[in-house]
Amino acid sequence: MATSRGLAARAWEYVESGKNLAGSACGLAGVGLALAGVAGAYWPVVVAGLYGAGALIAPPRRTPVPPFPGPAEQLDLVREDLGRLRGYVAEVELPPAAEGRLSELLDLYAALLDPGWVTEVLATEPEAVHALARAIRLDVPECVDTYNRTRWWTRLTPGGESPERHLERQLSVLAEEAERLTADLQDREVRRQQTHTAYLEERGRS
Ramachandran assignment for 66, one of left (phi > 0), alpha (psi -120 to 50 degrees), beta (any other): beta
- pLDDT tens for each residue of 169-200: 999 999 999 999 999 988 988 998 999 999 99
| Residue 133, pLDDT score | 94
Q: Return the amino acid letter for 57.
A: I
| Residue 2, pLDDT score | 46
Mean pLDDT value across the chain: 81
Bigger pLDDT: 25 vs 130: 130
- pLDDT above 60 (res 15): no
- The mean pLDDT value for 128-155 works out to 90
- pLDDT tens for each residue of 28-62: 665 665 666 555 565 676 667 766 766 666 666 66
- Closest among 80, 195, 78 to 128, alpha carbons compared: 78
- Closest among 48, 50, 63 to 17, alpha carbons compared: 63
Whole-number Å distance between alpha carbons of 193 and 201: 12
| Residue 152, pLDDT score | 78
**Contacts (Cβ under 8 Å, ≥6 apart) of 26:** 50, 51, 53, 54
| Residue 18, pLDDT score | 61
Task: Give this prediction's pTM.
Answer: 0.65
- pLDDT tens for each residue of 79-106: 999 999 999 999 999 999 999 999 999 9
Domains in the chain: boundaries: 2-57, 71-205
Bigger pLDDT: 14 vs 133: 133
**What percent of the chain has a predicted confidence (pLDDT) above 90?**
39
| Residue 183, pLDDT score | 92
- The mean pLDDT value for 150-160 works out to 73
| Residue 64, pLDDT score | 76
**Contacts (Cβ under 8 Å, ≥6 apart) of 22:** 54, 55, 57, 58
